[in-house]
Structure 1
Amino acid sequence: MFTALAWLSLAPTVVNAPIPPSPAPIVAAVPAIEGQALPRIPDEFTLYHDVLPLPGQLNNVPVFNSNSPELVQQDGILLSTFPGDEMAHADAHLDFAFEGRFDFFAHHIARGLVPDDRRTLFIGGVIYNPNPEPVTLTIGQGVSYLSQEAPFYNLPALRFNPDGSVFSGPGSRTVADVLQQRRQSQWPRQIVIPPEQTYLLVNAPIPLRRLPFAADATLPPGSILPGAPNNFQGYPVASVVPRADGRPLPSNGRSLLLHLESDGPVYAATLAMYAPRTDEGEERAPTLQEWLRLLVNGRLAGPRDIPPTNPEEYAKSDEDSRFFYGRVAGVAQGSQWEARAVDEEDADYLTIPAAGEAVSYVISTVDYNTFGTSQIQSAPMLARYSDTAYRAHGNYGVHYKIRLPLHNATDRPQRIALSLQTPLQDETLKHGLRFLRNPVDRIFFRGTVRVQYETETGQQQTRYIHVVQRQGEEGEPLLRLALPPNAQQNVTVELIYPPDATPPQVLTLETLGNASARTRPPATVESAPVSDVDESADSLSPVPPATTSTTPLPVINTAAEVTETDATDLIPASMDQFLAD
């Protein structure tokens, strides 16, 4: 096959021209939720209706999923599917070959060791062809952003996003780009990898300072990164905990999502390395040889995340103990979930609920958080490290496509509302969902949703909506639609689950009518407003143009744009609690 020494001779690589500045990456965090229902909260209310598993299932496309450790402060191997033979540390390699379609997902955060740390952490991604014949690697969509390119703006619950200019966090921006069929030109559409050669797919900086050029994910090896301090040798090593002096540590993150296809078996790896220095002390981008040397001789990068709980062992143990999900590093099975919600398996339509009633379908459910459906949607792991997640909790980067062939079986016109919601966790409530009247300021979802539907005249309409939801938020409707008597209209909801989110959510279909039909809370609680669909609006055109948005973004807090942010800017609130515990 090949030897470790052979890899070090594989210097040839394709370097792609950098592209103009682009949006941001995918920030992944695993939900920190215990395996029991939350205690009752005085501010909560319950809506009673059917809560159902989502029809369909994940496809079989493997996903290279590099997310552990999320916070990287030590050089090393993040994820390697290479064989461990002749490697210095065989346990750092999973021996899994990709062939055909596969996704390549990574999200990692760099954080300074001291407040004045301004170094640059690089993430490298390599693809190796072990075959005696050339292999063609097709690069479909590819998107990568730094968190400083996509700050967590304070956005309203809903905002139209026809051109991807509305985002809050790198995850929401990245998946919006992919959902809207964009790709960054920094990656070629196709590359031929010679026999027993390596392709440098990613050479991505995560700087702790502003760079004077676009920090693309494919910087040419040897590129100089100006602005590094000269006293870099005085920095402590990552294993030393710095003294707190009240100043925040600089942080930055990078995520990327690529859709790849190979016509032969290939191995892949992601690695982390602080930028090497020139003789003059300037930082530069690593070379392929340096990445391969780290791959052959390196250990797993650190610091390591909290090890996960084994779901099977936990099910047999005392359920009062804490369940830790862990973060993902390995190969997950499933890149897309297609669902068709109908009355019965052989039916062609979904009868809308009676007036005032509703039905919900769960999305991105995880162990011990399925809203009583017992459906765990987390992708299974085909290969993983022993201290990383047993499943791909959250399904970050997974494309959900839910078809709803709605049927009004009555002889009267009906109006329906379709909403994405983030209920409180409760495994004991089988026919209802718990919400908060005044949701706490812990954002659990931020991302773009695509809604396609038919008008009464049969015209197809498309809208892209950026959604922000807090824990326990009932949510505002994405769509309100009128259905004529005995008529059928098709609605399709799509989203790529954003890494800035904390699962799970539900998609709720409600037929508007009697507000008390689902035992709504007292009249002091205002119901979520429902806005009509303006079928003539430009934002609802069948193919939204990818032009500059005329919708203004909210006032930007400049403090959120600089690199020297608090680490909490990069991690959802639930993740903070997870790390604190």
Structure 2
Amino acid sequence: MLPFLLSFLIAQSSPTTAPSEEVLQSQEVRPLPGQLDTVPTFNSNSPELILKEGILLSTFPPNGKKVPTAHLNFPFRGRFDIFAHHVAKAEPPENLRSLYLGIILHNPGSELVKVDIWQAASYLSQPDAPFIQLPSFSQNPLGKIFAGPGDRVMTDILRGQRQGIFPDQIEIPPGESRMLLNLPIPVQGLTPLLNGRSTLIRLQSSGIVYAASLAMFARVNPDGSERSPNLQEWENILDNGDLASPRDKTPTPLEETGKPRIYGRVAGVVRGSRWRALLVDNPKSRYLTIPQPGQMFSYALSTLHGGTLGTGQIQSATMLVRYPDTAYRAHGNYGIQYSLKLPLYNNTQSPQTVSVSMQTPLKEDRLVQPGLRFLNIPAREVFFRGTVRVRYRDEQNQPKTEFIHLVQKRGQAGEPLVSLNMKAGDRSLVEIDFLYPPDATPPQVLTVSTQAESR
């Protein structure tokens, strides 16, 4: 599931070192409590690489459209999210026109519809958020640490921000359409001639709207300069265009086929925007008992078919509508927020040091041995790159909020997000929030560990 944008990132990574050895971390792996909410997410990620103009994802009704199969007929009303993640490439190399990404909203009703934009961000990989090498663990209080556009977008949304290029509200008259996004993915002057754009928008609509993401090359003025497409030109693509190409790899069925698994990329409406979970001992409990000294347990994150880490739990969001040649589920849950509460309880008779970590073990479906497998020297491929918000109370019982940027490679055990000195009988609430970033590769785990007693 390594994305296209990572192909040149890996080429820039550090030289090959000594062979890695697997390390088994003996522990219990638990399914994640809670579930995704029912807020629909418009998820436009296929094809990731766009070489020709066309429709990326349309939830418009097929009536009156030249290519009815390009339209999935899904109305939005109330809360919904829009996620888009696409790449442009100069092909052939002399074709340096900017590719524009357009997101259009349509009001099919007889009354004015108001669409409130709660949070929103859209960034390019060049120059907004280049893929740079970063430490595995960085304090990120101002949100200025990121590598890649998906990372930067998710950091902004986690912090509740709306980028200045977005208004706080769009009004759509009856029977009309408005552009929510009309931005370029330029390639001129870049090496390689490749660029990407990631976008996430959280919305609230007063009435029914349809949405579509579209790709069109910049229009050319008489003097040879570029201009952005206008609403009429976008509507023409929507009404008369076909699905953009080339298409991504067609996914294999979710059931085991004995053949290599192809997850495919997502193009459709996903069921869910946020996974809320209260991590406790059992459904009737109000707290999470810490592990015994020297022990640990983990909760699986972003599990998917073929990668449940022995839990049997599939967290990948279901598709409400999709194109037949795209992913069967939202593998990776890009743009979906995890909000996890851990009401920790020290039930021992002595003080304990307890830490909470995010980790990226080797992907497994069924655990051959009880525990998770890591690499003593993590692989070169970055599997998670994003900011995590941690809230807790310090030893003076003062509330603390920290934003921590993580870069984890395949097989990396990771460092503690927070370490607490808990007295005997103490209870302490830890809250973890993050948006699963594009360019990440699942699964991960959230691990609670208790330091071994010194002898």
Classify the TM-score, shorter chain. Answer: over 0.9
Secondary structure of the residue that 1:290 maps to in structure 2?
helix
Q: 1:334 aligns with which of 269, 272, 276?
A: 272
Instruction: State the 1:161 CA deviation.
Output: 0.2
Instruction: State the 1:422 CA deviation.
Output: 0.4
Aligned twin of 2:37: 59
Distance (whole Å) between structure 2 residues aligned to residue 251 and residue 30 of structure 1: 8
Q: 2:212 aligns with which of 269, 279, 282?
A: 269
Aligned twin of 1:530: none
Aligned twin of 1:161: 140
Q: 2:443 aligns with which of 489, 500, 504?
A: 504
Return 5+ residue gaps in structure 2 as ranges: 8-18
Distance (whole Å) between structure 2 residues aligned to residue 193 and residue 29 of structure 1: 36
Q: Is the 8 A contact 1:78 1:301 kept in 2?
A: yes
Instruction: State the 1:28 CA deviation.
Output: 6.5
1:107 matched to 2:80? The reply is no
Structure 1, residues 97-126: CA drift from partner, whole Å, max 9, x if none?
000100011010001113343210001110
Q: 1:139 aligns with which of 112, 117, 120?
A: 117
Instruction: State the 1:31 CA deviation.
Output: 12
Aligned twin of 1:469: 408
Distance (whole Å) between structure 1 residues aligned to residue 389 and residue 250 of structure 2: 36
Aligned twin of 1:300: 243
Q: Is the 8 A contact 1:66 1:270 kept in 2?
A: yes
Distance (whole Å) between structure 2 residues aligned to residue 338 and residue 303 of structure 1: 37
Distance (whole Å) between structure 2 residues aligned to residue 328 and residue 29 of structure 1: 14
Instruction: State the 1:428 CA deviation.
Output: 2.7
In structure 2, relative to structure 1, the CA distance for the partners of 1:30 and 1:514 (3 Å cut) is farther
Q: 2:330 aligns with which of 389, 392, 410?
A: 392
Structure 1, residues 501-548: CA drift from partner, whole Å, max 9, x if none?
111100000001069xxxxxxxxxxxxxxxxxxxxxxxxxxxxxxxxx
Aligned twin of 2:12: none
Q: 2:344 aligns with which of 406, 417, 421?
A: 406
- Aligned partner of 2:145: which letter? V
Q: 2:186 aligns with which of 202, 207, 219?
A: 207
Q: Is the 8 A contact 1:142 1:256 kept in 2?
A: yes
Q: Is the 8 A contact 2:20 2:379 kept in 1?
A: no
Q: 2:296 aligns with which of 329, 334, 358?
A: 358
Aligned runs of 1:449-460 on 2, under 5 Å? 449-460=388-399
1:433 matched to 2:372? The reply is yes
Q: 1:188 aligns with which of 144, 150, 167?
A: 167
Aligned twin of 1:289: 232
Instruction: State the 1:188 CA deviation.
Output: 1.3
Distance (whole Å) between structure 2 residues aligned to residue 210 and residue 462 of structure 1: 41
Distance (whole Å) between structure 2 residues aligned to residue 333 and residue 68 of structure 1: 17
Aligned twin of 2:154: 175
Aligned twin of 1:447: 386
- Aligned partner of 2:240: which letter? N
Secondary structure of the residue that 2:220 maps to in structure 1?
coil
Q: 2:311 aligns with which of 353, 358, 373?
A: 373
Secondary structure of the residue that 1:331 maps to in structure 2?
strand
- Aligned partner of 1:424: which letter? L
Aligned twin of 2:59: 81
In structure 2, relative to structure 1, the CA distance for the partners of 1:74 and 1:94 (3 Å cut) is same
Q: Is the 8 A contact 2:302 2:444 kept in 1?
A: yes
Distance (whole Å) between structure 2 residues aligned to residue 109 and residue 379 of structure 1: 23
Instruction: State the 1:133 CA deviation.
Output: 0.8
Q: Is the 8 A contact 2:20 2:378 kept in 1?
A: no
Secondary structure of the residue that 2:385 maps to in structure 1?
strand
- Aligned partner of 1:129: which letter? N
Q: Normalised by the size of structure 2, how large is the TM-score?
A: 0.94
Aligned runs of 1:240-251 on 2, under 5 Å? 249-251=192-194
Q: Is the 8 A contact 1:113 1:249 kept in 2?
A: no
Q: Is the 8 A contact 2:288 2:345 kept in 1?
A: yes
Distance (whole Å) between structure 2 residues aligned to residue 178 and residue 249 of structure 1: 29
- Aligned partner of 1:336: which letter? R
Q: Is the 8 A contact 1:28 1:67 kept in 2?
A: no
Percentage identity across paired residues of the two chains: 50
Instruction: State the 1:192 CA deviation.
Output: 1.8
Distance (whole Å) between structure 1 residues aligned to residue 106 and residue 3 of structure 2: 26
Structure 1, residues 284-327: CA drift from partner, whole Å, max 9, x if none?
1101000000100000001100001121xx33x4x3x1111000
Distance (whole Å) between structure 1 residues aligned to residue 204 and residue 100 of structure 2: 25
Q: How many residues align?
A: 440
Distance (whole Å) between structure 2 residues aligned to residue 42 and residue 160 of structure 1: 28
Q: Is the 8 A contact 2:273 2:337 kept in 1?
A: yes
Distance (whole Å) between structure 2 residues aligned to residue 61 and residue 171 of structure 1: 21
1:49 matched to 2:27? The reply is yes
Instruction: State the 1:351 CA deviation.
Output: 0.4
Instruction: State the 1:173 CA deviation.
Output: 1.1
Q: Is the 8 A contact 2:20 2:377 kept in 1?
A: no
Secondary structure of the residue that 2:219 maps to in structure 1?
coil
Instruction: State the 1:274 CA deviation.
Output: 0.8
Structure 1, residues 372-409: CA drift from partner, whole Å, max 9, x if none?
11111010000000000000110001110110000000
Aligned twin of 1:382: 320
Secondary structure of the residue that 1:291 maps to in structure 2?
helix
Distance (whole Å) between structure 2 residues aligned to residue 440 and residue 190 of structure 1: 45
Q: Normalised by the size of structure 1, how large is the TM-score?
A: 0.74
Instruction: State the 1:29 CA deviation.
Output: 6.8
Q: Is the 8 A contact 2:278 2:340 kept in 1?
A: yes
Q: Is the 8 A contact 1:28 1:396 kept in 2?
A: no
Return 5+ residue gaps in structure 1 as ranges: 1-26, 33-40, 212-247, 516-581
- Aligned partner of 1:378: which letter? S
Aligned twin of 2:16: none
Q: 2:362 aligns with which of 424, 446, 451?
A: 424
Distance (whole Å) between structure 2 residues aligned to residue 251 and residue 513 of structure 1: 49
In structure 2, relative to structure 1, the CA distance for the partners of 1:437 and 1:514 (3 Å cut) is farther
Instruction: State the 1:344 CA deviation.
Output: 1.1
Structure 1, residues 15-35: CA drift from partner, whole Å, max 9, x if none?
xxxxxxxxxxxx967999xxx
Aligned twin of 2:428: 489
Distance (whole Å) between structure 2 residues aligned to residue 299 and residue 98 of structure 1: 22
Aligned twin of 2:11: none
Q: Is the 8 A contact 2:5 2:196 kept in 1?
A: no
